[in-house]
Structure 1
Amino acid sequence: MRSTLCRMFAVAVFTATPVVTPSLARGAAPAPAATAKTTSPMDAARKALDEVGDMNYQGKSLNEVMGDLKERAKVSVTIDPAVYQFGLDPNQPNVTVVLKQVKLKDGLQQALAPFNLKCGLTKDGLYISTEEGLVTKQFRQRVSVNCEGTAFGAAVKQLSADCGANIVLDPRLKDKVNAAVTLKLDDVPLETAIRLLAEVADLGAVRMSNVLFVTTTERAEKLRPNADGPTQPAPGNPVFPFPAGGPGGPVPLPGIGVPGIVLPANPAPAQDLPAVAPPAPATPPPAPPAPGKP
């Protein structure tokens, strides 16, 4: 009887005790709800440029088209100042494009085609230039790298996603893309960063137009004769930072297009040099004596 009462008391105590879940034990706070993944500015720009709609520009200037694009896509738009050297006036009403249900980026490419211009994304937004100017801009964006045992493929894909450049990993690399790389670079061109990362991973990179292709060193050497060389920095503006008559403004150089030749704004007057007497004419040799009479 006594044992039966003990068992009944234990059952009553167990059923009356509330169950404590691990998440609430010891005063633990409830687990926070999963937060939505934030969208990077580059991803937002890509999504906006992929939006489908009508594009109707009748006799608009390039500046007006770029302003409308900036408003629709909510992305910064920059025109390469170098294109103005080819006689392009962005204020002239010479853009006419009528397209139905087209991606914004495709319609923009068609609007720029008559001017032989291209557009592409960079860290700073949409950039418009010549084809070579766009390639140079994209591959010479300044980046920093801080890899400590990072998978090579992950590092390259992140740089490509952040900068908008076409960096392609050879699918035949397989496990080599997972090679751990350790490299620290500060403020270098994107192309330089990719080439050095490839070198650390015992791989090679070749540029083919607007694509940087990463493959094995053997394939890279095989492709190199038909590939493009590394991009070069854009030539500096041949302007000396002093105005005519004093410092504070530019002085255009004679012979534009020949960078590196700089003339001073106020050249020092030529110093008088001592006169040098011209050399005396050479004395003619004496005439030979006349032959004696026999």
Structure 2
Amino acid sequence: MQSENSTSATGATAPSGRGRAGDLRTRFLSALVLGPLVLLAVYFGGWIFQLLMLAFALLAAAEWVRLVEPERTLAIALLAIGAVGAVLVVDFIAGVEFSLGLAALLTVALFVAATVGHAQHRRLLAFGIPYIVFGSLSLLWVRGIAEDGLGLLIYLLFAVWATDIGAYAAGRTIGGPKLAPRISPKKTWAGLIGGMVSAAIFGAGVAVAYGAARPGFAAVLAAVLAVVSQAGDFFESGVKRYFDKKDSGHLIPGHGGLLDRVDGLIVAAPVFALFHATLGKVLEWW
């Protein structure tokens, strides 16, 4: 007879059925509250969405600093978080060209300051600025596209969310060979393919709903974004494993930190924005 908290074959303590049910309930309630708020901000756009993105960027920067620089000083933490906030404010006022230039300068400045301050992981610390800023600016840029911005952002969000759902469902039901067990032991090839299929279906559905010119291409693009999204997930998993952390934070009940929820989106967004900016009109897919 097993105890309520049994030990798995890997030696880790496995949560009981009651614990798993409680965790799923907490995750569901968190998503039920946060999901509609995010979608409302996306729908209204403008300053409402800008405020959401500013809050997201500041919280994500704070999580990143806590994750990669445990022995941080207050000055270094404030510089990193303030740099991310400054880039977004400049984007609101002067546009993406100026904000990208400022991001580059502040990344170098943070690295120099971290070096002078003898920060142990100064490269990772400084990398947090482009990591968070590029994703945030990309989401703002996509939403700001005249006429098509709302539909394109909904498409991107649904593709990434569907990736997470499909990968989780396929990984749990099918299992099979692991993708990269040293980085993320639970992720499987079945999960990767399931995420791609799910993203393609939802991406095509959103494209049809918004009257896109080529929903078939939208499905293929969503499958590609699924791979990019899962690569972002792997990246953050690798960072957490390096620092022996299970979650990036504890901001969202049942979900861990903010970065745990957006690690795929924060990487997929710049790829999608770059694709649409360079090839969107040429391919006329939307």
Indicate the TM-score class for this superposition, using the shorter chain for normalisation.
Answer: under 0.3
Q: Where is the helix percentage greater, Structure 1 or Structure 2?
A: 2
The structure whose Rg is larger is: 1
Which is bigger in relative contact order (C-alpha 8 A, separation at least 6)?
2
